[in-house]
Amino acid sequence: MTMEKRFIKVFLATMVLFLAVFQFTLTLAQGSPESESKAFSQTQQSNESYTADYDAGASNNYTVGQNSLNNAWQWFVNRYQIASLKVKILVVIVIYLLISLFFLFLFIMVNRTIKTKQRRHAQKMKELYQVELTDYLFGEENQSFGFTGIKNNTNREIFINELLSLHNNLYGEAASRLRDLFFNLELYKDSLNKTHNRRWNIKAKGIGELAQMDVKDANNEIVKYANYKNQILRMEAQVALVKLNDSDPLFFLDDLKYELSEWEQINILNTLMHYQINIESFERWMSSKNNTVVVFAVKMAGLFKHIQSWPKVLELLEHEDPKVRLAAIKTLDMFEVAENAGPFKTIYEKEQAIEEKEDDVFYNLNMNRNRLAAMNALETVVTPNDIEFIEKVLATEKDFKIQQRVVNLILKSIPNGQAIIDRAYVNADLQLKKIIDHAKQTVEQ
């Protein structure tokens, strides 16, 4: 069953429902004896008038039909006039709803017809442009080539979409030819115009097109949206700037007003890696007032192994934001510098010394995460000189995950670790004993 047939059935069912309600209101109008008396009198007068006219010799069928229609209308008017106020209001509402439903149904049918026609046209042009673009790519390089109907705005947009889709899946000379075509047909102007559109999704689409086709002259237009309130548009602009700005790909981080979300960080990282963009140092953003930018810079220093940033990252262990300190711990862990053992022990004790906030569960969770991260990082640089500290942690720590981490660290990374565990087992509480038993079973297996 087609959608149009479904609409017609729903429309007819609704009409029947409203007519039933309408008939019910007319029945209500006949409810009182006075109403029935008045209605009967007026109807009788109308019938007598009609009978007199008929007896007078009105034999024309059209005249009879017209008189019947007039009498039906007169009957309705009479009923309406003698009805109570509530019934009159209900009748008006029913009529209004019937008219509204009719126009709504008409609008839906017309709109669906137009959309169907547009969809068929778009599919037809899409298939045509796929053939024409394929012929262009495999034709002679200097051959003049025309594309059907691209002066029409709708067709031009379809053509741009097909060109970009094809370009996204090609490399080398074929991709270069499509980029040249994009400029030769001045399609970049269409993308630039989209960045001025009032709708953010159109702006984002235009920015994406400019970035994909490497339109470097568009930087001045795109940079305006690097601090835009809409996160998706802002992210699209940031990724485009990373690709298009050769001299300073991450310059927009200098004055970023909004938080740099995890998703934005991932997209920037993917762009840097995909286009093999080299950033010599991220220290410039480790002093940013935007803590999310600091976190991103610290993470990047770790991922790209910028050992030269070790002193700056070390300083960030004193940062007021727990998330920045956590990023610094993990990055120092990636550097695998032996001198990190001392800072890891210090940050563990410092985080532990800070009192938990009873009304801030997330704050407390960050504190535990930092301490756990410090113990994780310590495993890569632990030495016999750290045994006393680790035994102290095992004796005083109450957090389950940290206890588990310390026990595994002792068994795997410290010589004679089994003896340390046995000594701790004597005075351990039930939770720690279970952790030790489980760790021993895992090691034996």
Condensed to tens digits (0 to 9), the pLDDT of residues 200-220 reads 999 999 999 999 999 999 998
Query: Are the C-beta atoms of residues 367 and 322 closer than 8 Å to each other?
Result: yes
Amino acid sitting at position 315: E
- Give the SS3 label for residue 359: coil
More confident: 28 or 58: 28
Q: Which residues contact 215 (CB under 8 A, 6 or more apart)?
A: 188, 191, 192, 244
Above 50 in pLDDT, residue 14?
Answer: yes
How large a percentage of the chain has pLDDT more than 90? 49
Above 90 in pLDDT, residue 283?
Answer: yes
Above 90 in pLDDT, residue 91?
Answer: no
| Distance, CA of 302 to CA of 182 (rounded, Å) | 39
- Give the SS3 label for residue 306: coil
In b/e form, how buried is each residue of 304-326, taking b as 16+ CB within 10 angstroms? Answer: bebeebbebbbebbebeebbbbb
pLDDT at 351: 82
Strand (E) positions, 345-389? none
Average pLDDT (367-390) is 89
Cite the DSSP H helix spans in 284-360: 291-303, 310-315, 322-335, 341-353
User: If we measure between CA atoms, which residue out of 341, 338, 331 comes closest to residue 309?
Assistant: 331
* In the block, residue with structure tokens 């070790």: 310
| Distance, CA of 328 to CA of 319 (rounded, Å) | 9
Query: Are the C-beta atoms of residues 222 and 192 closer than 8 Å to each other?
Result: no
How large a percentage of the chain has pLDDT more than 70? 78
Q: How many CB atoms lie within 10 A of CB 105?
A: 17
Residue 249: which pLDDT band, with cuts at 50, 70 and 90?
Answer: very high
- Give the SS3 label for residue 186: coil
| Distance, CA of 337 to CA of 327 (rounded, Å) | 16
Query: Are the C-beta atoms of residues 4 and 112 closer than 8 Å to each other?
Result: yes
Please tell me the total number of residues recorded for the chain in this structure: 445
Question: Which tens digits make up the pLDDT trace of 394-443?
Answer: 888 888 889 999 999 998 888 888 888 888 888 888 999 899 889 888 87
Residue 106: which pLDDT band, with cuts at 50, 70 and 90?
Answer: confident
| Distance, CA of 71 to CA of 73 (rounded, Å) | 5
Residue 2: which pLDDT band, with cuts at 50, 70 and 90?
Answer: low
| Distance, CA of 152 to CA of 417 (rounded, Å) | 77
| Distance, CA of 247 to CA of 136 (rounded, Å) | 35
Return mean pLDDT, the chain: 83
Amino acid sitting at position 20: A
Question: Which tens digits make up the pLDDT trace of 18-53?
Answer: 666 555 555 554 544 444 444 444 444 544 444 444
pLDDT at 199: 94
pLDDT at 362: 64
Query: Are the C-beta atoms of residues 273 and 279 closer than 8 Å to each other?
Result: no
Query: Are the C-beta atoms of residues 347 and 333 closer than 8 Å to each other?
Result: no
Q: Which residues contact 63 (CB under 8 A, 6 or more apart)?
A: none
**Structure token pair of residue 57:** 């010799």
| Distance, CA of 219 to CA of 244 (rounded, Å) | 7
Residue 101: which pLDDT band, with cuts at 50, 70 and 90?
Answer: confident
User: What's the sign of the alpha-carbon dihedral 376, 377, 379, 385?
Assistant: negative
Biggest CA-to-CA distance, the chain = 127
| Distance, CA of 187 to CA of 178 (rounded, Å) | 11
Average pLDDT (90-110) is 86
Query: Are the C-beta atoms of residues 14 and 101 closer than 8 Å to each other?
Result: yes
| Distance, CA of 356 to CA of 361 (rounded, Å) | 9
Query: Are the C-beta atoms of residues 125 and 119 closer than 8 Å to each other?
Result: no
pLDDT at 355: 60
Q: Which residues contact 289 (CB under 8 A, 6 or more apart)?
A: none
Residue 58: which pLDDT band, with cuts at 50, 70 and 90?
Answer: very low
| Distance, CA of 71 to CA of 231 (rounded, Å) | 66
pLDDT at 253: 96
- Give the SS3 label for residue 194: helix
